[in-house]
């Protein structure tokens, strides 16, 4: 997906969120927002929103003299997500369709998105997610793909959400134990996306291959990925892509057998999918 006019204002607004997250004083906040506004005048509409965001966040990080702009927020997001783990495990243990329940858990975690046009409350989402139908419902196709897949790649998205991904991955391995599994993370801190640090802390190395994709974008930009990540991506029988950033980067993609799991949180992605903001999506391509 290439950026649209609506994306420009959204990216500019993210500079205000960054300033608030790092407790910037008035002068630093003005420098951050004015710099992004200036950059926005030359955004290339040949690029995806995550590609534009990578440039913008690199500039903001330099101005703020801070490598990981959202380090404090990511720790809070992880702690909040972890507080729901007992409830989620209980839901799974009582479920008569563990795959569907685990998939809903994975999508519920996708509300933790600091770059979204619209924000959702995690606790509120969890209270209703299990009774909410997929607006774009390819769940049966996902299930069929899982039954035959020998190699599965899960593309991570945001911190906090990765705790929900861990539960999802464990469930997949329980239901489909003969497949190999890999979890992809970003190559460098970008917005609140999951990196090796948070994935290791969550324990992913103990359950699957943990892959630093090498990308510096808040989404899996294939041509920015390292060779190992590209090879695993290309060889996978099934790629499960979490969140809007990965959707934006992989629409279109040279690869088939990708399942997009996400909650729609902006008008541009809603238009692309033909759905509404707030809908949950399970789409196979």
Same domain, yes or no, for 25 and 155? no
Q: Which of 64, 83, 112 is the last residue of a domain?
A: 64
- Token pair of 198 as six digits: 């948070």
Structural domain range at position 24: 5-64
Same domain, yes or no, for 224 and 175? yes
209 phi, psi to nearest 5 deg = -75, 125
State how beta strands 258-263 and 209-212 pair. unpaired
Give 65's pLDDT tier (boundaries 50, 70, 90): very high
Same domain, yes or no, for 145 and 167? yes
Per-residue pLDDT of 141-152, as tens digits, reads 999 999 999 999
Same domain, yes or no, for 79 and 148? yes
Looking up tokens 């951050």 gives 32
Give the CATH number, domain containing residue 196: 3.40.50.10880
Per-residue pLDDT of 162-173, as tens digits, reads 999 999 999 999
- Token pair of 230 as six digits: 């590209």
Concatenated DSSP letters of 99-112: HHHHHHHHHHHTT-
DSSP-derived 3-state class of residue 74: helix
Same domain, yes or no, for 126 and 50? no
Q: Which of 64, 81, 103 is the last residue of a domain?
A: 64
The count of domains in the chain is 2
pLDDT for 28 equals: 97
Question: Among the listed ranges 26-35, 126-135, 196-205, which one has the minimum average pLDDT value?
Answer: 126-135
Largest Cα span, the chain: 57
Same domain, yes or no, for 239 and 189? yes
The one-character DSSP state at 133 is P
Q: Is 253 exposed, middle or buried (0-12, 13-18, 19+ CB in 10 A)?
A: middle
């Amino acid at each position: 997906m290439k950026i649209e006019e609506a994306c420009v204002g959204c990216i500019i607004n993210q500079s205000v969120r960054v300033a608030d997250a790092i407790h910037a004083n008035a002068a630093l906040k003005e420098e951050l927002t004015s710099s992004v506004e200036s950059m926005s005048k030359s955004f290339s509409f040949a690029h995806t929103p995550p590609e534009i965001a990578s440039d913008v966040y690199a500039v903001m990080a330099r101005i703020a003299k801070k490598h990981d702009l959202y380090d404090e927020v990511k720790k809070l997001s992880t702690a909040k997500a972890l507080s729901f783990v007992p409830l989620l495990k209980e839901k799974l243990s009582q479920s008569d369709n563990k795959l569907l329940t685990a998939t809903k858990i994975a999508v519920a975690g996708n509300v933790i998105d600091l770059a979204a046009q619209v924000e959702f409350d995690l606790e509120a989402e969890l209270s209703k997610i299990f009774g909410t139908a997929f607006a774009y419902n390819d769940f049966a196709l996902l299930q069929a793909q899982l039954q035959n897949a020998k190699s599965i790649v899960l593309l991570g998205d945001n911190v906090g959400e990765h705790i929900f991904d861990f539960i999802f991955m464990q469930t997949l391995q329980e239901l489909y134990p003969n497949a190999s599994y890999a979890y992809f993370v970003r190559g460098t801190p970008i917005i609140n996306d999951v990196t090796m640090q948070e994935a290791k802390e969550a324990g992913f190395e103990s359950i699957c291959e943990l892959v630093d994709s090498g990308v510096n974008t808040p989404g899996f930009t294939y041509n920015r990925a390292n060779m190992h990540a590209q090879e695993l991506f290309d060889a996978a029988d099934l790629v499960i892509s979490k969140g809007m950033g990965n959707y934006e980067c992989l629409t279109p993609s040279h690869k088939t057998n990708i399942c997009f799991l996400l909650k729609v949180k902006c008008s541009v992605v809603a238009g692309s999918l033909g759905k509404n903001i707030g809908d949950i999506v399970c789409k196979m391509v």
